[in-house]
Every structure is written in structure tokens, then in C-alpha cells.
């Protein structure tokens, strides 16, 4: 048994995955009377269940093989699939490092998985010794979710290697915001760590939140287990086409990222001059976390002015998270903040 197999839920190891009609014949030409489809219409055929073209393009771009790529209906599905591959309900547990992306916790709860929280420290960095100590406790945590750059704090996590070298379970590094960061992706460490899963998404820098395309990069063995568990046609033809189209627009992608980064710098300068802003946390993402004088009041006041931000007071005291928008949107935010009592 491989070290990965030892972490997989026993019912998944032995699971015979659903074999769809399109699994049995993958050519383009032929008379398709196999899947009870309707012969009329534009979207009448089931999509490629393996998302072959998209995986091939991503493999070239990211210098991995297509067998290292898993595609989900957004990263949120990737998170859910990871729980279902590795964690037995009411038995297994995972480690989370709050404040962080909320779906790691919600998805654990949906799947009946226990949570050990090892919070980030005052600088929003990992407490790696505590993570490793928690893991050595009775039974291995099956998964550890690390988000870098982290949502909602915006910073890159520095001690991931330290944890990767010793952690016995699967280490999931969520890189939803990596394209806005100067720090390189952990993708280059995929070969070195068989227990590493990297998540990325088309929802942020690629501008496709509506399409729902999330990606996991991992060892072939892990990807095979994830494929067994996913619904057969989890990524629609429209999603796959939208993602392929986005990948073909590399120059525009770079231009948009640069524009967002320039706007982030502009917003930071403007926000610094406002009395109601107490602190702006450094960001490697497309958002800023601000400590303000009174997050609940200022958030509500902004809503009444039709500027919607994210109140993160429940996670980080008196903090609001602001997405970097288009320049007119950012200007509107600053104009309205100037009208609010500090
Ligand atoms: C860290 C992080 N991971 C994943 C997601 C979800 O991504 P997707 O739209 O691909 O489901 C988000 C969305 O805000 C996020 O902040």
C-alpha cells in the first residue's frame, strides 16, 4: 500500500467509478445513440467527462502532465472532493488555520469531518510547530488546508516547506490568488512531495467566476482517486470552452492582472489618508484587508451607499475586506468612504 493509499477512505480505494457512455467511446465521429441524449439542439450532447483539452492546455502552461490535473466545478467542488476521497465521516479530522477561507470549514461540517484549528499567529503566519504537534496526536489529520496568499488576510504564508517536510497527511495549498503574488507557485514542488495538492481557480485572475472552473494539481495517484469520486460530467461544456478561451487570451490576462495591481497600489495610497482607516494589511492578492474604526458601522454605511464590501469583523476584529475593482468602482469607494464619519 502506498503512503497515499493509506490515507484514502477504504470505501474509495475499492470503489468502481461510474462509467459514463462517453467513457466507453471518446471519438468525435459516429452516430451517438449511447447516452439517451436528444438529437436536436446546440447543447444536446454531454461534455467530455475528462476535460481532456483543458487539461492538456493547463499541462503545457504549468509544465506538468495532464494526469496531474483535476478539474472541478469551481475550487469549492475540489475542496468537497478532497474531503470525500480522504475523510471518513464521523471518524477523520483535518487541520485548518483560521482566519482563512470559510469553505474549508463548511465543507468539513457537511462531510461530518472533525476540525482542529491551529490559528495563524499575530502576523497571520503559520504556527508550524503547533500544526506538526497536533498532527502527531493519536491519529493523523487526513488533510491540512493552507491558503497562500491567504483569504481574508492577503499575505503569503512562509513556512509551508517546513510543514510539507514532516506532515503525514495531505497538504492542500490553495493558490486562488497566486497570479497577483510575486511569490512563485508551489507547483514546482509537486514532484518533491507526493502528498501535496495545489488548488488554483479561473475565478480570480482569469476573470471567470461565473463559469465555475477550479483546478487541482497533484500526483497521478491522488488525481485518479479524485476522478473516481467526482460526478461524471462535473464541468459543463460551456465552462470548459470558457476556460479554454481564457487561456488563449494570455496578453489580456497579463494586462488585467497588471491593471488590478496598479489599482491596488492606488487604493492603498488613498485609503492611507482616511481617518477611519487604522491599518492596511500588506496584500499579495486582489483585495485589501483594512482595520477600521468600527467595521460593522462602516460596512453598513457603505451598503447604504451601494458600495458592497465584505465585513470580516467576526474573523479579524474591525476588519473589512475590499476587492480591488475597476478604477471607477475604486474611486466610488474612496468618494463614499470620505463622506462617512470616522
Ligand atoms: C482562497 C479561496 N479558495 C477558493 C475560492 C473559491 O473558488 P471557486 O470560485 O473556484 O470555487 C475562493 C473564493 O473566494 C477563495 O478565496
Q: In this predicted model, what pLDDT tens digit does every residue of 85-138 receive, in sequence order?
A: 999 999 999 999 999 999 999 999 999 999 999 999 999 999 999 999 988 766
Cα–Cα nearest to 126, from 163, 177, 170, 79: 163
pLDDT, residue 136, reads: 72
pLDDT, residue 214, reads: 98
State the Rg of the chain over Cα. Answer: 22
Any idea what the Cα angle at residue 309 is, between residues 336 and 157, rounded to 5°? 125
Residue 69, pLDDT > 80, answer: yes
Q: Ligand 1: does its nearest atom lie under 6 Å from the Cβ of 210? A: no
Residue 317, pLDDT > 90, answer: yes
pLDDT, residue 19, reads: 87
Q: Residue with the nearest Cα to atom 2 of ligand 1? A: 176
How far, in Å, CA of 227 to CA of 255, rounded? 34
Residue 29, pLDDT > 90, answer: no
3-state DSSP call for residue 299? helix
How far, in Å, CA of 115 to CA of 274, rounded? 39
Q: Ligand 1: does its nearest atom lie under 6 Å from the Cβ of 151? A: yes
Omega of the bond prior to 152 within 30 degrees of 0, cis? yes
Domains of the chain are: 5-248 (3.40.640.10), 251-339 (3.90.1150.10)
Q: Residue with the nearest Cα to atom 5 of ligand 1? A: 75
How far, in Å, CA of 293 to CA of 174, rounded? 31
How far, in Å, CA of 239 to CA of 138, rounded? 43
Q: In this predicted model, what pLDDT tens digit does every residue of 261-291 receive, in sequence order?
A: 999 999 999 999 999 999 999 999 999 999 9
Q: In this predicted model, what pLDDT tens digit does every residue of 134-188 receive, in sequence order?
A: 887 667 899 999 999 999 999 999 999 999 999 999 999 999 999 999 999 999 9
pLDDT, residue 126, reads: 98
Q: Which of 77, 80, 96, 101 to mutate to test the pocket of ligand 1 (most atoms within 8 A of CB)?
A: 101
How far, in Å, CA of 211 to CA of 214, rounded? 10
First-to-final CA distance of the chain: 61
Amino acid at each position: 500500500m502506498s503512503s497515499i493509499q493509506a490515507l484514502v477512505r477504504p470505501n474509495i480505494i475499492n470503489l468502481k467509478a461510474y462509467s459514463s457512455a462517453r467513457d466507453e467511446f471518446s471519438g468525435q465521429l459516429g452516430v451517438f445513440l449511447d447516452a439517451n441524449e436528444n438529437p436536436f439542439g446546440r447543447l444536446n450532447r454531454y461534455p467530455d467527462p475528462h476535460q481532456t483539452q483543458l487539461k492538456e492546455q493547463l499541462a503545457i502552461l504549468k509544465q506538468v502532465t495532464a494526469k496531474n490535473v483535476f478539474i472541478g466545478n469551481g475550487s469549492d467542488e475540489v475542496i468537497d472532493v478532497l474531503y470525500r476521497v480522504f475523510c471518513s465521516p464521523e471518524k477523520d479530522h483535518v487541520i485548518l488555520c483560521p482566519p482563512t477561507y470559510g469553505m474549508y470549514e463548511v465543507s468539513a461540517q457537511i462531510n461530518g469531518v472533525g476540525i482542529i484549528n491551529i490559528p495563524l499567529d499575530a502576523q497571520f503566519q503559520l504556527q508550524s510547530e503547533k500544526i506538526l504537534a497536533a498532527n502527531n496526536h493519536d491519529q493523523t489529520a487526513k488533510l491540512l488546508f493552507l491558503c497562500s496568499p491567504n483569504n481574508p488576510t492577503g499575505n503569503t504564508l512562509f513556512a509551508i516547506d517546513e510543514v510539507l517536510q514532516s506532515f503525514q497527511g495531505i497538504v492542500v495549498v490553495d493558490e486562488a490568488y497566486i497570479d497577483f503574488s510575486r511569490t512563485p507557485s508551489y507547483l514546482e514542488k509537486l514532484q518533491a512531495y507526493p502528498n501535496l495538492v495545489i488548488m488554483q481557480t479561473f475565478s480570480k485572475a482569469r476573470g471567470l467566476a461565473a463559469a465555475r472552473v477550479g483546478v487541482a494539481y497533484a500526483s497521478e495517484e491522488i488525481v485518479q482517486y479524485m476522478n473516481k469520486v467526482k460526478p461524471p460530467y462535473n464541468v459543463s461544456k460551456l465552462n470548459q470552452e470558457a476556460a479554454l478561451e481564457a487561456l488563449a487570451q494570455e496578453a489580456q490576462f497579463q494586462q488585467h492582472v497588471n491593471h488590478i495591481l496598479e489599482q491596488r497600489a492606488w487604493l492603498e495610497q488613498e485609503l492611507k489618508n482616511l481617518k477611519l482607516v487604522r491599518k492596511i494589511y500588506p496584500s499579495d492578492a486582489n483585495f485589501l484587508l483594512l482595520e477600521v474604526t468600527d467595521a460593522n458601522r462602516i460596512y453598513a454605511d457603505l451598503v447604504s451607499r451601494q458600495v458592497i464590501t465584505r465585513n470580516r469583523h467576526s474573523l479579524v476584529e474591525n476588519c473589512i475586506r475590499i476587492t480591488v475593482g475597476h478604477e471607477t468602482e475604486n474611486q466610488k469607494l474612496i468618494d463614499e468612504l470620505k463622506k462617512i464619519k470616522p
